[in-house]
Amino acid sequence: MTPKLNAGVLFKAAEQRLNLTWTVTSSVAATRPLQSQHTTSLFSNEHSKPARQALAGYLNLVHPNQVQVIGREEQAHLDTLDAKSRWATIASIIAHQPLAIVIADGQPPPPDLQEAAEEASVAVWQSPHSSCTNVNFLQHYLSRALAESTLLHGVFMEVFTIGVLITGAPGCGKSELALELITRGHRLIADDAPEFTQVSPDVIDGTCPPAVQDCLEVRGLGILNVRQMFGDAAVKANKFLRVIIDLQVPSDRQALAELDRLQPGPNSRRVMDTDVPQIILPVLAGRNLAVIVEAAVRDFSLKMKGIDAASDFIERHRALLAQQGSK
């Protein structure tokens, strides 16, 4: 899903950080929405055609930005144009109906640009900050605000600084496992319905919807407020999703016997446009799943550093067999 955004919403989000002030405002300008060609996913896969325009950037007349930032250099360029070329340039800026025009570096807006913007009901904002600061903040905010997001069923936690999504069928013990991990010093981000946002092509950020903030539902106990029970250190606002741990109850002994005990094999789950590593853990009576999850996360961290215990074990035995064969 992609949220809607207009000039008024963007101004409120950036007003304090960029010290923005309106120089041209109207009800039409404030409610002007982002143009439709920009509301597709910012991180398109290879099968889709990404837009060439940027959401925010320095003044661009070839592929106009939705937020055109005009700094000292851009104003200096306008001042070098003769009257006819200058007016044609300003008309081109306004004709593309940008979401807003930001006059950066504390400069006053050019009178002819302001006049054209007023006639077309295009928002013009003034900022004392540099054009670079404006572009960086606006690009970051817009990319986050318009990024593709989705809800997944599971418990999202931070375990040893790693973002871990615990999934599984209803009743398999996800919340009980999360409660045990919290008592062991790990942190809850969201229970039942964590929201994930694709903030870059290979990075997914997870957070908690406001309705279930700090809450954990445990069968038999109902809703628990983790922050009030365990303190502020037991919860976290957001975390990048790095690994999924899927709890599975084996259907029978045969299914359990068929599991590869040395190398379960690479597994992943597609979340939006990213393949996230997935670890499948069988749920069996008597297993301490909290300890096993901690071990799984530690092992995952080691594998990210190129250390694979199973591969080392197999290689060690291969070398021993080769040595015995040579004798």
What are the extents of the domains in the chain?
A: 7-145, 149-316
Predicted confidence (pLDDT) per residue in 143-170, tens digit: 877 777 888 999 999 999 999 999 988 8
The pair of structure tokens assigned to 20 is 């923005």
**pLDDT of amino acid 53:** 56
Among 4-8, 89-93, 258-262, 282-286, which is the least confidently predicted range? 258-262
Nearest to 113 by CA among 94, 135, 85: 94
Q: Which of 4, 77, 140, 153 is catalytic?
A: 153
- pLDDT at residue 43 above 60? no
- 193 contact partners, CB below 8 Å, separation of at least 6: 151, 152, 153, 209, 212
Q: Which range in 60-74, 108-122, 231-245 is most confidently predicted, on average pLDDT?
A: 231-245
Residue 214: what residue type? D
Q: What is the CATH number of domain 7-145?
A: 3.40.1390.20
Nearest to 99 by CA among 137, 147, 66, 53: 66
Distance CA 290, CA 118 (A): 62
- pLDDT at residue 185 above 90? yes
- 258 contact partners, CB below 8 Å, separation of at least 6: none
Q: First-to-last CA distance in the chain?
A: 65
* CA-angle at 120, arms to 114 and 124, nearest 5°: 40
- pLDDT at residue 41 above 50? no
Note whether 7-145 and 149-316 share their fold. Answer: no
Does 140 qualify as catalytic in the annotation?
no
Among 19-28, 107-116, 121-130, which is the least confidently predicted range? 19-28
Residue 276: what residue type? V
- DSSP 8-state secondary structure symbol assigned to residue 173: S
Distance CA 161, CA 302 (A): 13
CATH topology of domain 149-316: Rossmann fold (3.40.50)
Q: Which of 105, 192, 214, 246 is catalytic?
A: 192
Q: Which of 49, 261, 305, 327 is catalytic?
A: 261
Does 214 qualify as catalytic in the annotation?
no
Q: Can you give the pTM of this predicted structure?
A: 0.70
- Average of pLDDT values for 20-31? 79
Average confidence score pLDDT of the chain: 84
Does 192 qualify as catalytic in the annotation?
yes
247 pairs with which residues across the strands? 168, 281
Among 130-144, 168-182, 250-264, which is the least confidently predicted range? 250-264
Residue indicated by tokens 């509301």 = 39
Question: What is the DSSP track for 248-259?
Answer: E--SSHHHHHTS
Q: Which of 32, 38, 129, 174 is catalytic?
A: 174
Q: 190: helix, coil or strand?
A: strand
Distance CA 92, CA 64 (A): 9
Does 174 qualify as catalytic in the annotation?
yes
Q: 237: helix, coil or strand?
A: coil
Kind of pairing between the strands at 195-200 and 187-192: unpaired
- Average of pLDDT values for 184-209? 90
